[in-house]
Chains A and B, each alone.
Chain A
């Protein structure tokens, strides 16, 4: 396998050498840069097309493009970019034009000379590739949100990406989990994308220029993850003019500045912080009052034997072991968390020449979440038992965050050849501390009968250092080659301690991997595009090489209908492990694969689809299947008294499959989309659930999403509705006794079938309204958003407390009706 890796490396070098000989053969080449007219920023992944033909290309991450073998006659270039007005440029007949500089204006600016063409995507472009979306962060503000324009929350509205996970901004893409997504910000890997209780993502939309989402069978350039890629490019800033802005909503404030540096570069700084720990606005309090009141209304008085037959049911009569009936007899309580977060993005951008870009990008974000709470409940006298009061105090503190830095130098050597060298550092940290004190009192005499204490401490740290070289070489009009190297050194630490002294897991790992890739985008005929690539990765921890072939093809049957298919093999070397916790909800941590406790996980993606695209509409259908192996899970539910960590990890396989429908109104004042996904994801672990397949925690059979945006003068209105069928969970199903040899009886709690129960369906409607106007040269936007417009009581998870029998059960709910106001000023 090492030889294969070397061969691919030599191939990559050989291609580089071929560049020189091939270059002189072309007669008419068009090349240049696409920029924003507003601030001069280069626009990545913009589409450049010769009008009336299918010949075209997309700009690279630095906004460069080149079209070989373009007609020497007079022609028109069409340039489109999400969130910007399309532009057509007429080029006279002649020779090569290698230094074209084309500026696009964003859709908020109306210019007379702009020719509006058919292509004018408002928010996202779903037709650019197979399972690929281009998304404009600038346009996201028109979508409803939890008070803050949020990139990942907006991505959750896309087809195939679950939109029902309020507790996490992470993306569940086609049956995958958030850890299976490669999330890159200016080349830095971001391991955890959650902010603020999971309601916000860790990325400030003010700092991000472009988002590319690959939902499956992604290009060979990317690797190390099973599910998807989210590649974000940070704003580089205006090199000629100072810009700034401030924003405020009921939960946080943010600001940014763009400072030109000697007309050769720029500096961008953006910061965001919630202030709910300092000032709790009236609205903030009322939000949680509504939240608490709603839950309190659901509290039900304990009723013995409400389980649907109880013990008397017996054979044939139903034993009432199902939780649906039991819920009626149990207490429900709520938790009000205390939290704050901040993040800081900065980027230095320097252009020593038109061909070179040097940038330094820094990111730092952190969260503090305190879910400590006290509660008390009284159990009525029963038999000889007096009335008892149970006081329960919980200290629960959770801190997590990401830090990262990347240094990039890229150069457009000539019209055909582009290189990008990157060094990136990334760190994710997470600390969790929970301490529970329980006192059981005789309620009448107020005397302590029993005191108990238990605690949990978890500390997880992930660090990686990456060096990348990515190259693009336009061999000729039919072939475009991508090739490069990717080396990463990773380190993970994880401690899991119970009750201060019992170390359940203490693991420190370090390893590296080296990957080489090559990929050819081949257009054998005008209507057919084939993308074939291979990526080989040598992973130090296992001393093995993992080969990942990638293949995709798109065929245009006519101007409107396209067929597409793709296959990709993907590996993942660092894993997020879900610590299944039946009673309090599951947590997770990161560990490196090592072929000891955790194997290197893999996925085979199969995708087929068809799309029908008109001037204003896109109808797209994609079916997919993913075969997953070496999935990992961690659980203490099967532990014995002796802690043997090898018995806490479980390995298995999975199948995720589904079909996605998308109908998008791409253009116009009224635009948006409706999407439906029918899907399932099942896992099979030989040592779990009797070896039977079980639905994954994120399994969701149906998901329906409606996204609308409407522009009315200075007003922009947004309305979204999300429906998802209930997600599975594991519930305790009851008790049973075993009589032992000495006549004693031991009682056991039976944990039900893994993920064998299902929460109620999730649905939610959000609304937003924005009003934009100018004060002098400043642009002002006033907004209002309502999250969960009709106050649906969606359940996040159920918490069980077995301190006393019957146990108390807490339905941890998502947010109810939550309005917010925002104000932003840009100058």
Chain B
């Protein structure tokens, strides 16, 4: 019987040890790396961020400024420092970003080290647009009571002017024999904005705003309806990597099965990618 008591004691001791309760957190929080390198440009604008809590979606992700961020190229390490915008940058002049360069990044914060790698793609070549100068009619809304308003002859002129803009577009082309990934951005370069559309109409047209996604085509159509101001514009066509395109692939998150956004950051979240681009300019003038 003594042995039986011993056995009971052994099992009971294990049982007591087992009686832990409530949830146990098994891991530390991960962080987000948002790091883009641009060919032939200084390294800057790299962000390390926290995660926004589930129950506070309106809060802003905290920028992490105490992380150690290292860029590595050709066996050399380049430690980045934090600037006044709480973004990481490299202030030395011995680091260049050139076509074909392979970069590694290592971000250490707390006990977590996240790493990633990317390569600087070749520059966009053969970039051209169908028109470098665009003439658009000036749209002047008739004043209420003076000319019959929108229903009168003035309104017809406005409608025709708008339609002439909406029905035209720019064709942007570039070389892409291997169906690689490109992304197009259009920016206004003028300091003093001269709107094409009066506010009332611009608000209605905003839904036509140009939204680009990475493409493996060799052209893109840019509707003039996306223009907002007269003046000089630039079209940047970036040669992008797959890790950047993946950011767009996974926007359709479904609450039934949350997609883990594919990230090339190991042991972390976000993206580390490099770009090379070519620019082309066009001017929007009044007829």
Contacts and interface: CB of A to CB of B under 8 A. Distances in A.
Interface of A: 302-316, 318-326, 328-330, 382-383, 454, 456, 580-584, 612, 614, 617, 619, 635-641, 661, 663, 674-676, 678, 690, 695, 701-704, 723, 725-726, 728, 732-742, 744, 746, 748-753, 756-761, 800-803, 805-807
Contacts of B259: 636-639, 751
Given A315-B66, A806-B54, A676 B18 contact: yes
A323 B26 contact: no
Given A741-B275, A746-B247, A758-B26, A661 B258 contact: no
A637 B260 contact: yes
A639 B21 CA distance: 35
A314 B64 contact: yes
A304 B55 contact: yes
B266 interface: yes
A613 B68 CA distance: 62
A581 B60 contact: no
B77 interface: no
Interface in B25-72: 25-27, 29-30, 32, 34, 36, 49-67
Contact of B62 (A313, A581, A732): A313
A313 B34 CA distance: 20
A305 B7 CA distance: 50
Interface stretch (B9-17, B98-106, B168-176): B9-17
A699 to B, nearest CB: 11
Given A635-B257, A748-B250, A749-B258, A312 B62 contact: yes
A305 B67 CA distance: 25
B51 A736 contact: yes
Given A640-B249, A740-B247, A323 B54 contact: yes
Contacts of A313: 50, 62
Given A315-B62, A738-B34, A758-B23, A800 B55 contact: no
B204 interface: no
Contact of B185 (A308, A739, A741): A741
B238 interface: yes
A759 B25 CA distance: 10
B256 A725 contact: no
Contact of B20 (A383, A725, A737): A725
A506 B7 CA distance: 54
Contacts of A753: 26-27
Ranked 9 nearest A-B pairs via Cβ: A702-B18, A314-B62, A311-B59, A307-B53, A734-B51, A805-B57, A329-B55, A636-B257, A320-B53
A311 B62 contact: yes
A759 B23 contact: yes
A766 B57 CA distance: 43
Contacts, number: 258
B256 A704 contact: no
Given A313-B62, A315-B50, A640-B246, A582 B258 contact: yes
B254 interface: yes
Contacts of A748: 250, 253, 261, 269
B47 to A, nearest CB: 8
Nearest to A303: B55
Nearest to B48: A315
Contacts of B185: 741-742
A750 to B, nearest CB: 6
B20 A307 contact: no
Given A322-B29, A761-B19, A733 B56 contact: no
A748 B52 CA distance: 10
A725 B56 CA distance: 30
B53 A310 contact: yes
Interface string B230-264: 00000010101000101111111111111111100
B197 interface: no
Given A304-B58, A584-B256, A735-B61, 16 more contacts: A311-B59, A311-B61, A311-B62, A326-B53, A581-B256, A612-B7, A636-B256, A661-B7, A661-B11, A676-B14, A678-B18, A702-B14, A704-B11, A734-B52, A735-B54, A760-B21
A761 B22 CA distance: 6
A337 B260 CA distance: 31
B255 A806 contact: no
Contacts of B260: 637-638, 750-751
Contacts of A639: 257, 259
Given A302-B55, A318-B29, A454-B254, A737 B61 contact: yes
Interface in B102-150: 109-110
A735 B57 contact: yes
B90 interface: no
Contacts of A583: 255-258
Contacts of A302: 55
Nearest to B36: A741
A702 B12 CA distance: 12
Nearest to B26: A756
16 contacts: A307-B55, A309-B53, A312-B59, A315-B66, A329-B56, A583-B256, A617-B7, A638-B260, A640-B250, A640-B262, A674-B11, A678-B18, A701-B18, A733-B30, A735-B57, A802-B258
Contacts of B183: 741
A326 B54 contact: yes
Given A318-B29, A581-B257, A757-B25, A661 B56 contact: no
A740 B244 CA distance: 9
A750 B14 contact: no
B217 to A, nearest CB: 17
B64 A315 contact: yes
Contacts of A312: 59, 62
Contacts of A690: 266-267
Contacts of A637: 257-260
Contacts of B262: 638, 640
A690 B4 CA distance: 48
A309 to B, nearest CB: 8
Nearest to B62: A314
A39 to B, nearest CB: 37
A329 B233 CA distance: 47
A34 to B, nearest CB: 31
Interface in B197-254: 211-212, 236, 238, 240, 244, 246-254
A583 B255 CA distance: 7
A676 B14 CA distance: 7
Given A306-B55, A676-B18, A733-B29, A582 B212 contact: no
Given A307-B55, A312-B62, A737-B61, A619 B3 contact: yes
Contact of A310 (B15, B56, B65, B250): B56
Contact of B59 (A310, A330, A746, A751): A310
Contacts of B34: 738-739
A678 B14 contact: yes
Contacts of B269: 736, 748, 750
Contacts of B211: 742, 744
A368 B238 CA distance: 56
Given A319-B51, A703-B18, A748-B261, A806 B56 contact: yes
B91 to A, nearest CB: 21
Contact of A738 (B67, B236, B252, B271): B271
Given A637-B260, A704-B15, A756-B27, A320 B10 contact: no
A584 B254 CA distance: 12
Given A640-B246, A690-B267, A742-B212, A761 B20 contact: yes
Contacts of B62: 311-315, 319
Contacts of A580: 257
A750 B51 contact: yes
A190 B200 CA distance: 69
Contacts of A316: 66, 110
Q: Chain A CB within 10 Å — which of B51, B246, B267 has the most?
A: B51
Interface in B64-84: 64-67
B23 A760 contact: yes
A309 B185 CA distance: 37
Contacts of B251: 746
